[in-house]
Amino acid sequence: MNEDYRRTRKYRMRWWTLLVLSLSLIVIGLDNTILNVAIPTIQREFDASASELQWMVDAYVLVFAGLLLTMGALGDRFGRKLTLQAGLVIFGVSSIYAAFSGSSAELIVARAVMGIGGALIMPSTLSIITDVFPREERGKAIGIWAGTAAFGIGIGPALGGWLIEQFWWGSVFLINGPVTVIALTTGLFLVPRSRDEVPPRIDPVGAALSITTLSALVFAIIEAPSRGWLDPVVLAAFGLSVALGTIFIRQELRSDHPMLNLDFFRNPRFSAGAGAITMAFFAMFGVIFILTQYLQFVYGYSALQAGVRISPFAIGMMLGAANSHRLVRRLGTNKVVAAGLFLLALTLASFALWDVDTSYPVILVSIILMSFGMANTMAPSTDAVMGAVPLAKAGVGSAMNDTTRMVGGALGVAILGSILNSIYSSGMAAAIAGLPPQAAGAAGDSAGAALQVGGSLGGPQGEALISAARSEFVGAMGYAFIAAAAVALIGSLLVLKFMPAGHLGTQKAGGQAPAHHDGGAGS
**Banded model confidence at residue 362, pLDDT cuts 50, 70, 90:** very high
Q: Which pLDDT value is given to residue 514?
A: 40
Q: Which pLDDT value is given to residue 481?
A: 93
CATH homologous superfamily, domain 268-498: MFS general substrate transporter like domains (1.20.1250.20)
Closest CA to 95 of 213, 184, 165: 184
Q: What is the mean pLDDT of the chain?
A: 81
Q: Taking the alpha carbons of 421, 423, 425, 431 in that order, is the dihedral positive or negative?
A: negative
Q: At what angle do helices 360-387 and 303-310 cross, to 10 degrees?
A: 60
Q: Which pLDDT value is given to residue 100?
A: 92
Q: Does 101 or 205 have the greater pLDDT score?
A: 101
Q: Which pLDDT value is given to residue 49?
A: 67
Q: Which pLDDT value is given to residue 319?
A: 80
- Residues of the chain with pLDDT > 90, as a percent, come to 14
Highest mean pLDDT among 26-35, 85-94, 130-139, 156-165: 85-94
Q: Does 502 or 268 have the greater pLDDT score?
A: 268
Judged against a pLDDT cut of 80, whether residue 155 lies above it is answered with: no
Q: Which pLDDT value is given to residue 488?
A: 93
Judged against a pLDDT cut of 90, whether residue 341 lies above it is answered with: yes
Q: Which class would CATH give 8-189?
A: mainly alpha
- Residues of the chain with pLDDT > 70, as a percent, come to 90
The residues of the chain that CATH labels 1.20.1250.20 are: 8-189, 268-498
Q: Which pLDDT value is given to residue 503?
A: 43
Closest CA to 148 of 413, 329, 378, 325: 378
Q: What is the DSSP string of 158-170?
A: HHHHHHHHHS-TT
**Banded model confidence at residue 339, pLDDT cuts 50, 70, 90:** very high
Read off the DSSP letter of residue 295.
Answer: I
Q: Which pLDDT value is given to residue 6?
A: 54
Return d(Cα 158, Cα 151) in angstroms, integer: 12
Q: Which pLDDT value is given to residue 198?
A: 65
Q: Does 84 or 321 have the greater pLDDT score?
A: 84
Closest CA to 191 of 22, 386, 69: 22
Return d(Cα 81, Cα 106) in angstroms, integer: 30
Return d(Cα 139, Cα 130) in angstroms, integer: 10
Quickly count: other Cβ atoms within 10 Å of residue 242's Cβ: 14
Q: Does 11 or 470 have the greater pLDDT score?
A: 470
Q: Which pLDDT value is given to residue 509?
A: 35
Using DSSP's 3-state secondary structure scheme, residue 231 falls into: coil
